[in-house]
Amino acid sequence: MKQIYGNVIAAPLFVLVALLLCFGSCQSSDNTKEGASVASIPLKVQLDDVSSRVGISGTYGGVFNCYWNGDVLGVYHKYVMGGIVQKMMPLEFATPATSGTSATFSYMGNGAYSYNLSSRIYAFSSYTNGGYTASVADDGTSTLTVPTLASQIGTLNNCAAYDALYGSATVNNDTGAPEEPLTMNHLLGLLNLHLTSSSFSTGYPVTVTLTSSAANILPGNNGSATLASDGNTLTTKGSWGVNWSATVTPTTDGVVDIYLMTWPFSSVNSTLTVSCQDHTKYIYTNGTLNLSNLSLAAAQLKSIPLAITGTLFTYDSSKLFAWDATDYQPVTVNTVPTNANRFNYTDNEWSNNASYACKNCPCANEMSWYFSVPCYWDNGSVSGGNTTAYKLADGSTTNKGMWFRKKSGIPHFSSIVFSGKESGTITQLSTMSASDIAALNLSSDYFFLPAAGSTNYSTGAFNSGDTNGFYWLSTPDTGTANGYHLIFSSTNADFGPGNGSRTYGNSLWTVQ
C-alpha cells in the first residue's frame, strides 16, 4: 500500500472492483464438486498508489484536500484547541464536494486547532454506503460499528461499499505533524463463492441463499469491531448471520460469483449450504461445502469454487407469469395487469420465439409430440399416483394434475417437426388397475404438471386452480397479442394461441 506523509489513503471503488474482477475471472475455470479448494489473495496488492488520490495538503491544523470520491473520513486524537488539550474526540469534518474525481474534507469547528504533541492520531476511512460509525476511547481503543453489513447484495460493486480502513500514527515532537508513515489497514475480509452450473445464463437473475452451521461466516446486522490500542488486535461482536440471500445477474454463462465482505475469522468449521433459484427456467439447485479450519484474514480475498448440482424442478405452481415476462416477476393475483415491461410484445417480435421468461418453455412443435402418446389425469387420490400437495398462487393447494410421457420415451420427438397432434388422448388413472398404474413407471418415465390455474388477462382474478393447468409455450401467435399455451383438465388437453392473451398469468415449465 502507498504510504503518504500525514495522509489517509483508500482504494477507490472502481479500482477495487476492477482488480477483484480480474481475480474473479482467474477463478472461472474452477469446477470442484466435492471438498472445494480455497484460494486466498491478499487485498493489499490491490491498494497501490492511485494518481488521483495522492494530493494532500494543509494536514497540520486545517483542511484535507483529498482527491478521492465516495469515502468518509474520520480523524480522532487529543488535539489542542485554544491552547487546551482536548479529550480523545473526532475533529468535525465536512465533505462539501463528492462528485467528479475529488472531495475536500474541511475542518468545520470553531477556532484554530493543532495536533497535541506525543498524542497518537487514529484515522478511519470507509465508503459512504458502508454506514460505519467510529469511536475511540482515551486509551486508544477504537470501535467501529457496521449497522447494515448483511444488506450487501453480494456483488463486487456492493461489497466494496462496506470496506473500511483504519490506522494510527504518532505526532512528531519537532514539527507537530503526523509522523511518517501513517499506515492504513483493512477492517474486513472478502469471501468469494465461485458457483458454476449449466443452468446459469448471462443476463438472467439467480437468487442465491446461503445457510451456515457456524454463526461467524455470513455477514449479519449490527456488528461491531473493537481494536486494541496497538491498532492490530481485533475483537468482533454483534449479530452474526447464519442465513443470507441475494439476487445477482450472471455476467458469464455458467458462472455466478457471490462476494461477501465480512469480519475476519480463523479456524472455523462449518457446513455451508448454497441454494440457487434460476428465475427464467425455474430450476432449483443446491450444493454443500464442508469447510474445515477455514480462515479469513483482514485484507484478504478468499475464493471458494463450487459446482452447483441438485434436483431440477421445471415449474413453480405458486407463481404465474405473463407470456415471456421481461422482469421475471410473477403476476399479482387479483390485481389488474399493468403490462408495462411485463411481457415481450413488439411488432418485430411477433414471429420470434420467446426471449425472456418463456424462452426455455417447450415450443409448439415439441408440445405436439407430447400429445402423440397418451397422457394421464391424476385426481390426487389414486394409489401409485401423485402424493404431493402443490401450493397455488392464491395460497390454496392441489394434488390434481396431468402425467406426460418424458421425451426420452416418445419416438421421433422433435423441436422442428410437427407431429400432427394438437390435442391429447387422456386416460383417467382412477379407472386403471393398480398393476397397470405400476406398469407405467410414472416416477421414472413420466413427469407431473399440477392443475395450477391461471390469472385473468384483464382483472388478475385467479381461476381454475385444482381443476385446470395453463402452461405457456415459447411460441408466440404471429401477428396477434396472444401466445401459445397448453391447457388441460380431467377431460381435455390441447394447445394453441386461442384465448391466450400474453397478460394471462400462466405457469412456466421446460422440456423433459
pLDDT digits (tens, 9 = 90+) for 482-510: 899 999 999 999 999 998 888 899 999 98
φ and ψ of 499, to 5 deg: 50, 35
Q: Which of 426, 201, 212, 431 is nearest to 328 (CA)?
A: 201
Instruction: Report yes or no: 192 and 152 within 8 Å, Cβ to Cβ.
Output: no
- 51-60, 260-269, 294-303, 426-435, range with greatest mean pLDDT: 426-435
- How far is the C-alpha of 262 from the C-alpha of 301, rounded, in Å? 11
Place of cell 496488492: 45
- How far is the C-alpha of 279 from the C-alpha of 211, rounded, in Å? 20
Is pLDDT of 60 > 70?
no
H-helix or E-strand spanning residue 88:
none
- How far is the C-alpha of 333 from the C-alpha of 147, rounded, in Å? 36
More confident residue, 140 or 48: 140
The pLDDT confidence band at residue 57, using thresholds 50, 70 and 90, is very low
The pLDDT confidence band at residue 145, using thresholds 50, 70 and 90, is confident
- Looking at residue 220, its pLDDT comes to 74
- How far is the C-alpha of 105 from the C-alpha of 95, rounded, in Å? 5
Asked whether residue 508 is domain-assigned, the answer is no
Asked whether residue 510 is domain-assigned, the answer is no
More confident residue, 331 or 493: 493
Query: Considering only 95-109, 258-272, 450-464, 492-506, which range has the smallest mean pLDDT?
Result: 95-109
Are 279 and 177 found together in one domain? Answer: yes
Instruction: Report yes or no: 356 and 323 within 8 Å, Cβ to Cβ.
Output: no
Are 358 and 289 found together in one domain? Answer: no
Is pLDDT of 472 > 60?
yes
DSSP per residue, 264-319: -EEEEEEEEEEEEEETTTTEEEEEEEEEEEEEE-TTEEEEEEEE-B-------TT-
Give me the mean pLDDT over the 333-342 stretch. Answer: 74
- How far is the C-alpha of 79 from the C-alpha of 91, rounded, in Å? 8
Are 356 and 473 found together in one domain? Answer: yes
Query: Considering only 33-42, 458-467, 476-485, which range has the smallest mean pLDDT?
Result: 33-42
The pLDDT confidence band at residue 315, using thresholds 50, 70 and 90, is confident
Instruction: Report yes or no: 304 and 289 within 8 Å, Cβ to Cβ.
Output: yes
Cell of 447: 413427469
Is pLDDT of 333 > 60?
yes
Are 249 and 199 found together in one domain? Answer: yes
Are 425 and 281 found together in one domain? Answer: no
Are 251 and 369 found together in one domain? Answer: no
More confident residue, 295 or 235: 295
Are 130 and 195 found together in one domain? Answer: yes
H-helix or E-strand spanning residue 55:
none
The pLDDT confidence band at residue 28, using thresholds 50, 70 and 90, is very low
* Total domain count, the chain: 2
Are 233 and 302 found together in one domain? Answer: yes
H-helix or E-strand spanning residue 341:
none
CB within 8 A of 231, min separation 6: which ones? Answer: 122, 140, 166, 167, 168, 185
More confident residue, 52 or 110: 110
- 76-90, 308-322, 466-480, range with greatest mean pLDDT: 466-480
Regarding beta strands 164-170 and 120-127, do their DSSP bridges make them parallel or antiparallel, or are they unpaired? antiparallel
H-helix or E-strand spanning residue 495:
strand 493-496
Regarding beta strands 164-170 and 206-212, do their DSSP bridges make them parallel or antiparallel, or are they unpaired? unpaired
Are 281 and 197 found together in one domain? Answer: yes
Query: Considering only 87-96, 287-296, 404-413, which range has the smallest mean pLDDT?
Result: 87-96
The CB-side HSE value for 99 (13 A sphere, CA atoms) comes to 0
- Looking at residue 350, its pLDDT comes to 44
Asked whether residue 289 is domain-assigned, the answer is yes
H-helix or E-strand spanning residue 430:
none
Are 60 and 172 found together in one domain? Answer: yes
Asked whether residue 6 is domain-assigned, the answer is no
More confident residue, 243 or 408: 408
Percent of the chain with pLDDT over 70: 69
Distances, alpha carbon 112 to alpha carbons 60, 82, 92, in Å: 11, 7, 12
Cell of 468: 385446470
Asked whether residue 470 is domain-assigned, the answer is yes
Are 114 and 250 found together in one domain? Answer: yes
Distances, alpha carbon 43 to alpha carbons 8, 268, 345, in Å: 17, 21, 46
Instruction: Report yes or no: 51 and 108 within 8 Å, Cβ to Cβ.
Output: no
Query: Considering only 73-77, 202-206, 279-283, which range has the smallest mean pLDDT?
Result: 279-283
Asked whether residue 512 is domain-assigned, the answer is no
The CB-side HSE value for 149 (13 A sphere, CA atoms) comes to 32
**In what side-by-side order are the strands of the sheet with 113-114?**
84-85, 80-81, 113-114
Give me the mean pLDDT over the 420-433 stretch. Answer: 97
- Looking at residue 192, its pLDDT comes to 87
- 103-107, 154-158, 192-196, range with greatest mean pLDDT: 192-196
Asked whether residue 229 is domain-assigned, the answer is yes
Asked whether residue 334 is domain-assigned, the answer is no
Write the single-letter amino acid at 18. Answer: A
Cell of 197: 452450473
CB within 8 A of 151, min separation 6: which ones? Answer: 221
Q: Which of 281, 266, 450 is nearest to 362 (CA)?
A: 281
- How far is the C-alpha of 2 from the C-alpha of 34, rounded, in Å? 40
Q: How far is CA 81 from the centre of its chain?
A: 49
The CB-side HSE value for 246 (13 A sphere, CA atoms) comes to 20
- Looking at residue 241, its pLDDT comes to 74
Is pLDDT of 71 > 50?
yes
Is pLDDT of 447 > 90?
yes
H-helix or E-strand spanning residue 472:
strand 469-476
Structural domain including 182 reads: 13-307
Are 292 and 394 found together in one domain? Answer: no
Is pLDDT of 396 > 60?
yes
- Looking at residue 42, its pLDDT comes to 39
End-to-end distance of the chain based on CA atoms, in angstroms?
54
